[in-house]
Amino acid sequence: MSALVGIIGACVLILVGMIMKGGSIGGIISPPAFIMVIGATLGVMMASSGLDTVPKMIKLCLGPGMKDPAERRAETIAILVEFAEKARREGLLALEADIERLDDPYLKKGVRLVVDGTEPELVQDILETELEQTEGRHRKNQEIFKNGAAFAPTIGILATVLSLVSVLQHLDQPDTLGPKISAAFLATFYGVMAANIFFYPMANHLKRHTESEVATKTLVIEGVLSIQSGDNPRVLADKLWSFVPPALRAPGEAAPAEPVGAGV
Amino acid sequence: MSALVGIIGACVLILVGMIMKGGSIGGIISPPAFIMVIGATLGVMMASSGLDTVPKMIKLCLGPGMKDPAERRAETIAILVEFAEKARREGLLALEADIERLDDPYLKKGVRLVVDGTEPELVQDILETELEQTEGRHRKNQEIFKNGAAFAPTIGILATVLSLVSVLQHLDQPDTLGPKISAAFLATFYGVMAANIFFYPMANHLKRHTESEVATKTLVIEGVLSIQSGDNPRVLADKLWSFVPPALRAPGEAAPAEPVGAGV
Amino acid sequence: MSALVGIIGACVLILVGMIMKGGSIGGIISPPAFIMVIGATLGVMMASSGLDTVPKMIKLCLGPGMKDPAERRAETIAILVEFAEKARREGLLALEADIERLDDPYLKKGVRLVVDGTEPELVQDILETELEQTEGRHRKNQEIFKNGAAFAPTIGILATVLSLVSVLQHLDQPDTLGPKISAAFLATFYGVMAANIFFYPMANHLKRHTESEVATKTLVIEGVLSIQSGDNPRVLADKLWSFVPPALRAPGEAAPAEPVGAGV
Amino acid sequence: MSALVGIIGACVLILVGMIMKGGSIGGIISPPAFIMVIGATLGVMMASSGLDTVPKMIKLCLGPGMKDPAERRAETIAILVEFAEKARREGLLALEADIERLDDPYLKKGVRLVVDGTEPELVQDILETELEQTEGRHRKNQEIFKNGAAFAPTIGILATVLSLVSVLQHLDQPDTLGPKISAAFLATFYGVMAANIFFYPMANHLKRHTESEVATKTLVIEGVLSIQSGDNPRVLADKLWSFVPPALRAPGEAAPAEPVGAGV
Amino acid sequence: MSALVGIIGACVLILVGMIMKGGSIGGIISPPAFIMVIGATLGVMMASSGLDTVPKMIKLCLGPGMKDPAERRAETIAILVEFAEKARREGLLALEADIERLDDPYLKKGVRLVVDGTEPELVQDILETELEQTEGRHRKNQEIFKNGAAFAPTIGILATVLSLVSVLQHLDQPDTLGPKISAAFLATFYGVMAANIFFYPMANHLKRHTESEVATKTLVIEGVLSIQSGDNPRVLADKLWSFVPPALRAPGEAAPAEPVGAGV
């Protein structure tokens, strides 16, 4: 939601400002500039990240781009503490029945490994490898947008220089000079616009998804290993809640550990 | 205070210089440019950091932005050394009565964990996790302002290019050309101004708050663990004072460990 | 393939856009600008990376530049698991016969070290050193292109400034001014074009080759050491598959460990 | 010395070149531009680093800025080896008499801790914490100048854009246009000058002081711990001299460990 | 050689291109611009790196700048393996006679330490400290050139702005305007040229020397410690050759560990 609202809002405000200044939307449409800037940017993005860059980009925009990262830490802690209590009372095998009702496949995998009696080192190894792989995969997705943000403005300038070169070769028609130079600068506008209103914000937005994913998975690793080693559920809760910012803590949980007045 | 004084001072000096040069404040007010630059910058900041970016930003400006980071290391050391002495004389449980009179919730939490008889590894784990989480949360707050600082100037240039494009399409009215180009450059001015007079300095200001917070919390971790392991209070004082720059050391404490002349 | 398609596609689109705007290919050809920009860029690239920079660059373009990194993880896991089973059943020496049919020289080397009875620490040491050396060598190759990308635009600007300097010394021939300034800007165009349409995308493309190579070799190290220590083949498979993104996992392998809806 | 010579030399050469080209010193003096650029830069530097930024900056310029970092490694090694010999012959307590004649307070502190019979781990802890704190404090000092270097040019451009905006609103007085645009660019000149002739070189100069300080303190830590553990003074000398570049080694010390011809 | 050829080649090509375009070498000579840009750049480089920056820079250009890094890994391995064999057959003391015929002082030092019976930890400590010190010293040398590359273009722009300021104050002599603006831009040309044709390529060139030095010294550490611990010479050879890229391996050594076709 925030990506959609922010990006569309920024576009609308720029157009509104332009119209208030007397510009017209028709005046900023130039198919050749669009082909040069957006086309060539997509080309070098494909050269950088593979032939499936464009469908991947669209999938990312329609998938995580359309929703904000969910905050699942509080409920994950609740489940982990509940499982720790059950495992203490009835043994690890008692968790088998509960695996199926879990929504989060990562938590599911962790609990199943524990129930299957996998060695702790291997459980940790497998869960951490999976976390690193997820992070790496997300980082590559962000890189697609970062590449776009890096290439678009320079390709915009490239197209503008190219257009100016051809304008300057025909200085003998002074009355068409203004509109031609104007059209040349549209390419810079397209490039800077694509980078700053779309590519960079999207990369930042995806980064938030990653951070949220990593935060939850870190909790799961910590929790699953604690369950396996039979830690006291109360101690586990203490440990897990210290991963969560005070503002998100369940009522009754450890008081905020910062001067209230600071408000940072 | 320093953020307020510095930022307002910079604004005033720029306006004073402008007026000395014969400019007028009315001449730099352009609602369309303001909508384009500040509006779109806030839009992409929301796309980058979530829908609550603007209220968060205001809260940060009114909270830590209005005051300088407090130097609490000397008094924290005094408390920790006092507690270490009491714990040595009367046992860890004797500290229970003193917990309530502590102001710093982080120190409070640390001492309570020790009094409750939590294992040292877990105390360290919980306090360090909390420290890392605080740092991470602060870093995200700084990032909001850094994002603003990164986007504002390019969006200012974007708006200027867009305005110039429409100016250049109407070169046939030469007498309005100057003011129109002038108005186009106001967008660049707004963007560069927002980034360099507001966003960057605020990010730096918040960073100082974080550093101060981390410095104090590091002391607390070191001290609480020392109290728990029953270290000699004198040794603890020695260790803790080496975290504090000579200039801030209590009189009688370890002499400055640098050539006095160097003054670095 | 992706490098070829992306780079040529970008060039074509830029030319198409230019022609749509009324420019001509003849108008952007300037041998002196080409000599200045491309020649001097190659010169400083040689000063930076050695006299064999140009042949190396051509070799890289014709070699890995012409094909996309192969995804060999699934088949590598299959081989490693098969070897683990055989080694468990028939002993490590039984693998000797299979070494020759391996295509991947790194895997070959790893298995041979194991069959030869080399100590595990040394096997790990040798394979990791080789991996680091490969990474370092690839990084140097990428650096050649990154250097080109860093130098080309500034040398383009250099050549443009130099040309403008000589244009400005002869302002008395106003009718040749336009084409001369136009020709001066061609140097900037060449530099920015070389950097953004060729050097940067190629550096990114080579980086993907490296990542793919490292991913496969990491699997091999993990697998070979597991075979040597006689781990359970099923456990080995579990461990290795967690290095592979869910989408590439063999059917029947561990279900994706992410909320399906997230699609990140 | 080097900062003073280099910075004043650079200023003089720039003025000399300007006068050779026919410019006059009077022509580059503009109080409004000075107020805008230098004033606002100091303002945002205060917002970034605290209200005492300006006095701190002056103190740093007059203190370490006026002298070059002293090379104290050779004499420090001589003292440490001498102390190691004495401690071996007469015991650690015999060093007590020599503490007072030491100039370097850090070395003094280290030797006193050893003479006082502090545990080795704690000695190392205290000395390393003090080293880290010194480095951190120095880094903050460098940051003041780096902030100045980052803000000054953009604020210069800000002031120039602001001045151009007001110039462009009065295109109807063409005869005052040149001087007015000229005055507008003075702000850019001030900003770039402040950053490149003063702030950056000073930051680099302070960095050299830090490196020299850290190098000497590292020797002291290594040496004091060696003295405490009763190492052979000859072995200690060998170890300490390997921290010193061959060119600075005492005659008779380990020969240079590089091909003489390389001269790197 | 490569630095010399690359840098001179780049200069020649830029001049050739300029002459092809009708410029003259006389037209780009401006002593005032030279004094401003090169003089002030050297000044701030001295402020940054000390008063001996210029002689150091000249020494580096005439020393390592004139030759390419030598590839000494293959022969170093040969010597180390030979020594390992001799030490195994005849004991470590037998190496004493061979020390004198070694050219590389670092290898010499390492072998002497072993022959003298120094403890392994200390040998490693001394050799690694020496390696780190060499790297640090080289890094500082590279920094001299990187500083030059960072300062030169901005000081060029500074000088150009300063010249334009004085040109714009005398718009009443339009016929001298062109040549004066032209001369102003020469300063930018000098600065960008110095940075991109000299400083950056030299910094990159020195970096290659460092990498080559570090690669050889790493081999020596690994080898000397292996000799001291009496490792099997064959195993040592295996270990050391994995530090060398396949293309440089002695015939008969481990086959390349990469798909031959990849050619990366």
- The string of pLDDT tens digits covering residues D166-207 is 888 877 777 778 888 998 999 999 999 999 999 999 999 999
Residue D254 phi/psi, 5° resolution?
A: -35, 130
Nearest Cβ partner of C63 from E13, E195, E263? E263
Distance CA C142, CA C202 (A): 8
Which of C246, A2, C37, D100 is CA-nearest to residue B51? A2
Q: What is the DSSP string of D10-74?
A: HHHHHHHHHHHTT--GGGG--HHHHIIIIIHHHHHHHHHH-TTHHHHHHHHHHTGGGSPPP--HH
Average pLDDT of the segment spanning D218-227: 94
From B15-19, B198-202, C45-49, E237-241, the region with the lowest mean pLDDT: E237-241
Distance CA B109, CA B127 (A): 8
Which of B4, B30, B2, B29 is CA-nearest to residue B15? B29
| Helix residue ranges per DSSP H, A91-119 | 96-99, 105-115
To the nearest whole angstrom, how far is the Cα of C264 from the nearest Cα of chain E?
31
Which of B169, D228, B185 is CA-nearest to residue A28? B169
Contacts of B67 (CB under 8 A, 6+ apart): B1
Chain D residues with beta carbon closer than 8 angstroms to that of E203? none
Q: How confident is the model at residue A225 (pLDDT cuts 50, 70, 90)?
A: very high
Nearest Cβ partner of C105 from E18, E200, E256? E256
CA angle C113, C116, C120 (to 5 degrees): 55
Quick one: tokens of E103? 């050219």
| Widest CA span in chain B | 91
pLDDT value at position C252?
A: 55
Q: Is the ipTM of this complex over 0.95?
A: no
Residue D105 to residue B257, Cβ atoms within 8 A? yes
To the nearest whole angstrom, how far is the Cα of C97 from the nearest Cα of chain E?
18
Does D167 reach chain E within 8 Å, measured CB to CB?
no
Q: Report the percentage of chain B scoring pLDDT > 70.
A: 94
Q: Per-residue pLDDT for D140 more than 90?
A: yes
- Cα dihedral D90→D96→D100→D104 (10° resolution): 80
To the nearest whole angstrom, how far is the Cα of C153 from the nearest Cα of chain A?
10
Q: Is the separation of the CB atoms in A191 and A155 below 8 Å?
A: yes
Q: What is the DSSP string of B196-249?
A: IIIIHHHHHHHHHHHHHHHHHHHHHHHHHHHHHTT--HHHHHHHHHTTS-GGGS
3-state secondary structure of C259: coil
To the nearest whole angstrom, how far is the Cα of A148 from the nearest Cα of chain C?
11
- Cα dihedral B235→B237→B239→B244 (10° resolution): -160
Q: Per-residue pLDDT for E261 more than 70?
A: no
Which of D106, D219, D198 is CA-nearest to residue D152? D198
Residue E154 to residue D189, Cβ atoms within 8 A? no
pLDDT digits (tens, 9 = 90+) for A170-181: 777 777 788 889
Residue B43 to residue A205, Cβ atoms within 8 A? no
Nearest Cβ partner of E264 from C36, C158, C209? C209
Q: Is the separation of the CB atoms in C224 and C80 below 8 Å?
A: yes
> Which residues 195-224 of D are in CB contact (within 8 Å) with E?
195-197, 200-202, 204-205, 208
Distance CA C125, CA A153 (A): 45
Q: Is the separation of the CB atoms in D109 and B246 below 8 Å?
A: no
Distance CA E65, CA E141 (A): 12
Nearest residue in D to B247, CA atom: D137
Q: Report the percentage of chain D scoring pLDDT > 70.
A: 94
Q: What is the DSSP letter of B100?
A: T
pLDDT value at position B53?
A: 95
Chains A and C touch (3+ CB pairs under 8 A): yes
Distance CA B240, CA B74 (A): 9
Nearest Cβ partner of B59 from A2, A258, A263? A263
Does B9 reach chain D within 8 Å, measured CB to CB?
yes
Q: How confident is the model at residue E184 (pLDDT cuts 50, 70, 90)?
A: very high
Q: Is the separation of the CB atoms in A253 and A241 below 8 Å?
A: yes
Distance CA A163, CA B221 (A): 63
3-state secondary structure of B190: helix
Say which residue, C84 or E71, is predicted with more confidence.
Answer: C84
Q: Per-residue pLDDT for B215 more than 90?
A: yes
Other Cβ atoms closer than 10 A to E173? 9
Q: How confident is the model at residue A261 (pLDDT cuts 50, 70, 90)?
A: very low
Q: How confident is the model at residue B264 (pLDDT cuts 50, 70, 90)?
A: very low
Residue appearing with tokens 């290019």: B161
Q: Per-residue pLDDT for C171 more than 80?
A: no
Residue B51 to residue A2, Cβ atoms within 8 A? yes
| B78: amino acid identity, one letter | A
pLDDT digits (tens, 9 = 90+) for C172-210: 777 778 888 998 999 999 999 999 999 999 999 999 999
HSE-CB at C66 with a 13 A cutoff on CA atoms is 10
Quick one: tokens of C77? 């896991």
Cα C3 from chain centroid? 10
Does E157 reach chain C within 8 Å, measured CB to CB?
no
Contacts of C252 (CB under 8 A, 6+ apart): none
pLDDT value at position D245?
A: 83
Average pLDDT of the segment spanning C159-181: 85
To the nearest 10 degrees (0 to 180), the angle between helices B120-168 and A177-193 is 170
Q: What is the DSSP string of D65-120?
A: GGSPPP--HHHHHHHHHHHHHHHHHH-GGGGHHHHTT---HHHHHHHHHHHTT--H
Nearest residue in A to C5, CA atom: A47
Distance CA C218, CA A109 (A): 23
Q: Per-residue pLDDT for E166 more than 90?
A: no
Does C29 reach chain E within 8 Å, measured CB to CB?
no
Cα B167 from chain centroid? 42
Does B29 reach chain D within 8 Å, measured CB to CB?
no
Element (H, E) at A223: helix A200-228
pLDDT value at position D251?
A: 60
Residue A243 to residue B129, Cβ atoms within 8 A? yes
Residue C43 to residue E235, Cβ atoms within 8 A? no
- Chain E: partners with 3+ C-beta pairs within 8 Å: C, D
Average pLDDT of the segment spanning D101-121: 91
Does A32 reach chain B within 8 Å, measured CB to CB?
no
To the nearest whole angstrom, how far is the Cα of C246 from the nearest Cα of chain A?
9
Q: Per-residue pLDDT for C158 more than 80?
A: yes
Q: Per-residue pLDDT for D261 more than 70?
A: no
Chain A residues with beta carbon closer than 8 angstroms to that of C68? 50-51
> Which residues 97-156 of C are in CB contact (within 8 Å) with A?
153
The reported pTM is: 0.91
Q: Is the separation of the CB atoms in E228 and E68 below 8 Å?
A: no
pLDDT value at position B199?
A: 97
Residue A245 to residue B133, Cβ atoms within 8 A? yes
Q: Is the separation of the CB atoms in A26 and A117 below 8 Å?
A: no
pLDDT digits (tens, 9 = 90+) for A192-214: 999 999 999 999 999 999 999 99
To the nearest whole angstrom, how far is the Cα of D233 from the nearest Cα of chain B?
25
To the nearest 10 degrees (0 to 180), the angle between helices E200-228 and E73-90 is 10
To the nearest whole angstrom, how far is the Cα of E101 from the nearest Cα of chain C?
30
Q: Is the separation of the CB atoms in D27 and E165 below 8 Å?
A: yes
Chain D residues with beta carbon closer than 8 angstroms to that of E135? none
| Widest CA span in chain A | 91
3-state secondary structure of E95: helix
pLDDT, mean over chain B? 90
Q: How confident is the model at residue E85 (pLDDT cuts 50, 70, 90)?
A: very high
From B2-16, B201-215, E233-247, the region with the lowest mean pLDDT: E233-247
A91: phi > 0 → left, psi -120 to 50 → alpha, else beta; which?
A: left
Q: What is the DSSP letter of B37?
A: I
pLDDT value at position D2?
A: 92
Chain B residues with beta carbon closer than 8 angstroms to that of A233? none
Residue B245 to residue D137, Cβ atoms within 8 A? yes
Q: Is the separation of the CB atoms in B179 and D162 below 8 Å?
A: no
Chain A residues with beta carbon closer than 8 angstroms to that of B177? none
Q: Is the separation of the CB atoms in D43 and B9 below 8 Å?
A: yes
Average pLDDT of the segment spanning E3-26: 94
Residue B192 to residue D154, Cβ atoms within 8 A? yes
To the nearest whole angstrom, how far is the Cα of E150 from the nearest Cα of chain D?
9
Does E192 reach chain C within 8 Å, measured CB to CB?
yes
Radius of gyration of chain D from its Cα atoms, rounded to whole angstroms: 26
Average pLDDT of the segment spanning D31-44: 96
Does B171 reach chain A within 8 Å, measured CB to CB?
yes
Q: Is the separation of the CB atoms in D105 and B254 below 8 Å?
A: no
Q: Per-residue pLDDT for D156 more than 70?
A: yes
To the nearest whole angstrom, how far is the Cα of E61 from the nearest Cα of chain D?
10
E strands along E78-235, which residues? none
Does D23 reach chain E within 8 Å, measured CB to CB?
yes
Residue B138 to residue A181, Cβ atoms within 8 A? no
Cα C55 from chain centroid? 17
Other Cβ atoms closer than 10 A to D228? 22
Nearest Cβ partner of A105 from C1, C7, C257? C257
Q: How confident is the model at residue A242 (pLDDT cuts 50, 70, 90)?
A: confident
pLDDT value at position A169?
A: 84
Distance CA B44, CA A6 (A): 5
Does A21 reach chain B within 8 Å, measured CB to CB?
yes
Chain B residues with beta carbon closer than 8 angstroms to that of A193? 158
pLDDT value at position E264?
A: 42
Contacts of B221 (CB under 8 A, 6+ apart): B110, B124, B127, B128, B131
pLDDT digits (tens, 9 = 90+) for A41-99: 999 999 999 999 999 999 999 999 999 998 889 999 999 999 999 999 999 999 998 89
Average pLDDT of the segment spanning C224-246: 89
